[in-house]
Each structure stands twice: as C-alpha cells, then as structure tokens.
C-alpha cells in the first residue's frame, strides 16, 4: 500500500540545491573573452554615424548645373535653326520702351501695308525692316519678350519673342500651292537629321483668301502661310521662341495678327509692262520687262541684235544670248574643246557640267523653268569652290543646239533671269 501511495507522488527537488561552479583555468584572469562573430566591436559602438547631408547637397548641385547647361545648349541650337530656317532675318535695334506690352484690345494697333495686302500689329513691334531673300522681298518686324529685353541682347538671335515676316515673290512660283509644296519639302528634308518635325500642309482661309499652312516644331519653331495675290505669292512667316508660357502668349498674339490680314490689289500685271523680243535669224523669242526699252535709263541696259542679245541690270548681268561661231553642232563636243570660257574668261574646269532638257529653278527645285532641246548641257560656275573660280563674275550657262547651230545662254542667279528664261521658246 505504501508503495502504491508513494508511486503517485512526484519527486520534489531539494529546496536548497547545490550549484557546482565551472572549473576555472589557471590563467583565466589574463584571457581575452571571445565574442560572437556578429557582435559589434568597441570601435563600432563608439563611432559617430556618417552624415548624408553633404552627399545629397553635392548631388543636387551637380543636377542643377547639368539642367542649366542643357537648357542653354537647347536655346542656342534653337536660335541657330531659326536663323537657318529663315536666313534673311535681320533683327532691328532695340526699342527704348521696355515697359510696353502687347495690347489685347487691338484698339491701338498699327497697320502695316504691303503690295496688295495689309495687317495690324501691336505698337510694341519694332519698325519694319526691309528684307530680301532670294526672289522674295518684303519686310520683317520683331517683338522682343521681357526676358530678352532684360538681357540687353536685342541685336542678336531671337531667343524670346515673336517675328512677323511678309515677303512677296512675283516670278518663281505659279501658285501659292507650288510655293508651299517646295518649302514644305525643303523643311521636311532639313528636319530628318534632327529632333524636330514638320506638320502636313493644310488649306485654310486668311482674310477671305485660300492659304496653305504648315508648322515646324522642335529644333526652332515657325508657322508658314502661302497666299495667292494674283500675279504674285505672299509668304507670311511667324517665328517664335521663349519659355513655354511665353510661347503660348506669343502664338495667341500671332493668331490675332493673322486674323487682321486684308487683301486689296490682287490683279495680274498689265500686259503693257512686258515686251516680247523675237530673233528671226535663230528663230527664238522671250519676254522681258518693258523698262529695258528705255534708252535713257541710267540703270538698265539692253542690246538686241541677231547674233547677240544682252540685258544688264544696275549691277549685274540678267541674261545674254549669243550664237557660237563654230561648225560644231554637238554642245558636249564643243565644250570639251574649250580651254577658257569667253564671258567669264575662266578655265572651263571652273564649270560643273550636266546634261538635261529640264531647267529647274534655283529657288524651287521642283519647278521647271524651261524645257530645252535634246543635247543641251548646263554649266554651273556659281557652285565652284576653286579659289581661281570664285572671283566675279559667277554665272550659269546653257549651251543649246538648234537648227544645226549652237546658242550660248548666260544668266545670273536672279529671279528676273529665271522669269525671262521661263518665257524663252523657239519659234521654228
């Protein structure tokens, strides 16, 4: 019984157990305690945490300087393209009225009048500057933004402001659509190598007339308008540059200016202003300005004879047509025999030779000025880079075979030359 009772009572530990200390090595006082591998060292415990403020500050400064450099580079490239897009632009001197701002009411706007058109603009625009670009003539005016005026750099490239340019061409294009197509193609080709774009041509209405319009964006910004004016074409160009918010204001103002365009005299040139010359010996004819018939003119000089026809302007040759004294009837063979060209007195090596019956405009490569007989050769002296060849006169020439004779047509790079050549034809 006792065994049974005792077996149901758990063993109870002693109330005061005896704890035996671990053995102590003889040199325990001189031993260095071994710490776990991941325990911090005294140096780590006493070290001060590294400050991140200096690193963040340096990174921020570098970032800001990089952004500033990028903006400056973009603006410089943008200005270069604006000048390249419209190289005839001449910025006038700064106005001494920096406090002036564009008046949205249009009540005090001024009127600019050109040949056959007019438009209104705020008085903050500088006075119009006469502008000539190839066969285009007209005027440009600029409104500088506050940023450019504050910089004092108002006689350099436009980097903050708006330019309105209106130019007339009377001879190179048969219509505004032709001009728009030519410029659109040139701008499109220019932007293929840079980060910019050209919009498609749109047909819109300006001042009650049909206009052809497109935009250039990215590497320089512009809006282009082409409008028929009877016998001429008007090209209105809007150039702009500046900060994003300023550009919005510039374009809003430009839209208002375009909305004020009016057109007056758009009739064709009276026939009485053109004369026709006919050469019966070599059976050709062409039209030319009647002013060359004035023998008392101090500027224009004209010579008409069977073997030589010559029209000179005030300072350069317009066109010369002469019969070549040779038995050779092939232009290419005749030219290969020459050493020196007679009109310019330059070596024939100064001329680049090409063959073709289509004569294209310098100002509009898509436009054919004249269709010439088979075998015609074209000689270009203007594009030469040889120092021996670059002295004046620099001209273009056409050697034309006709009725077993050779005619040499020499002309300057001028819109009047192309206008006359566009009327040249053989009568037999």
Q: Is 350 in contact with 341 (CB distance < 8 Å)? A: yes
Q: CA 382, CA 263: separation in Å to the nearest integer?
A: 38
Q: What angle, rounded to 10 degrees, do the helices at 176-191 and 53-85 form?
A: 150
Determine the pLDDT at residue 140. Answer: 92
Determine the pLDDT at residue 251. Answer: 94
Determine the pLDDT at residue 77. Answer: 52
Q: What is the pTM of this model?
A: 0.46
Residue partners of 212: CB distance under 8 A and separation at least 6: 176, 177, 179, 180, 201, 202, 203, 204, 225, 226, 227
**Residue 125: closest CA among 91, 156, 159, 157:** 91
Determine the pLDDT at residue 88. Answer: 40
Determine the pLDDT at residue 106. Answer: 84
Determine the pLDDT at residue 44. Answer: 47
- Residue numbers in the chain where pLDDT is lower than 70: 1-54, 56, 70-105, 155-156, 171, 190-195, 219, 265-272, 295-299, 314-315, 363, 413-414
Determine the pLDDT at residue 30. Answer: 46
Count of other CB atoms within 10 angstroms of residue 265: 9
Determine the pLDDT at residue 332. Answer: 93
Residues of the chain with CATH 3.40.1000.10: 90-263
Q: What CATH class is the domain 90-263?
A: alpha beta
Q: CA 422, CA 185: separation in Å to the nearest integer?
A: 23
Q: Assign a CATH topology to domain 271-426.
A: Protein Transport Mog1p; Chain A (3.40.1000)
Looking at the chain, the whole-number percentage of residues with pLDDT higher than 90 is 32
Tell me the pLDDT tens digit for each residue of 307-358: 999 988 766 788 999 999 999 999 999 999 999 998 888 999 999 898 888 8
Q: CA 318, CA 312: separation in Å to the nearest integer?
A: 5
Determine the pLDDT at residue 407. Answer: 95
State the number of CA atoms in the 13 A half-sphere of 123 facing the CB: 12
- E strands in 247-367: 262-263, 274-279, 284-289, 301-304, 308-312, 317-323, 340-341, 346-347, 352-355, 358-360
């Amino acid at each position: 019984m006792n065994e049974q009772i005792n077996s149901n009572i758990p063993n109870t530990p002693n109330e005061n157990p005896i704890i035996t200390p671990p053995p102590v090595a003889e040199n325990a006082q001189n031993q260095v305690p071994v710490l776990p591998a991941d325990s911090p060292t005294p140096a780590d415990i006493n070290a001060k945490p590294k400050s991140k403020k200096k690193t963040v500050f340096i990174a921020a400064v570098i970032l800001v300087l990089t952004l500033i450099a990028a903006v400056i580079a973009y603006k410089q490239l943008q200005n270069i393209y604006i000048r390249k897009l419209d190289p005839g632009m001449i910025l006038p001197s700064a106005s001494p009225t920096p406090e002036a701002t564009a008046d949205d009411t249009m009540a005090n706007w001024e009127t600019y009048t050109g040949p056959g058109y007019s438009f209104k603009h705020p008085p903050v625009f500088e006075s119009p500057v006469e502008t000539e670009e190839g066969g285009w003539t007209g005027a440009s005016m600029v409104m500088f933004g506050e940023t450019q005026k504050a910089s004092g750099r108002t006689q350099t490239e436009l980097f903050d402001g708006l330019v309105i340019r209106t130019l007339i061409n009377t001879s190179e294009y048969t219509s505004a659509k032709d001009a728009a197509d030519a410029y659109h193609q040139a701008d499109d080709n220019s932007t293929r190598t840079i980060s910019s774009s050209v919009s498609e041509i749109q047909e819109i209405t300006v001042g009650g007339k049909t206009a052809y319009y497109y935009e250039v964006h990215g590497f320089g910004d512009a809006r282009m308008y082409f409008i028929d004016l009877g016998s001429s074409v008007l090209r209105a160009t809007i150039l702009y540059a500046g900060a994003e918010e300023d550009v919005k204001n510039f374009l809003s103002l430009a839209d208002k200016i375009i909305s004020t365009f009016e057109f007056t005299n758009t009739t064709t040139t009276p026939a009485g202003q053109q004369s026709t010359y006919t050469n019966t010996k070599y059976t050709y004819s062409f039209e030319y300005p009647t002013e060359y018939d004035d023998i008392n003119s101090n500027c224009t000089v004209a010579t008409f004879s069977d073997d030589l026809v010559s029209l000179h302007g005030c300072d350069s040759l317009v066109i010369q047509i002469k019969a070549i004294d040779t038995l050779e009837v092939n232009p290419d063979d005749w030219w290969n025999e020459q050493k020196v060209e007679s009109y310019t007195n330059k070596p024939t090596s100064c001329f680049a030779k090409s063959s073709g019956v289509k004569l294209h405009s310098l100002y509009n490569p898509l436009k054919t000025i004249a269709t010439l007989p088979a075998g015609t050769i074209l000689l270009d002296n203007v594009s030469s880079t040889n120092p021996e060849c670059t002295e004046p006169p620099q001209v273009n020439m056409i050697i034309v075979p006709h009725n077993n004779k050779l005619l040499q047509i020499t002309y300057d790079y001028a819109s009047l030359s192309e206008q006359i050549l566009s009327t040249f034809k053989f009568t037999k």
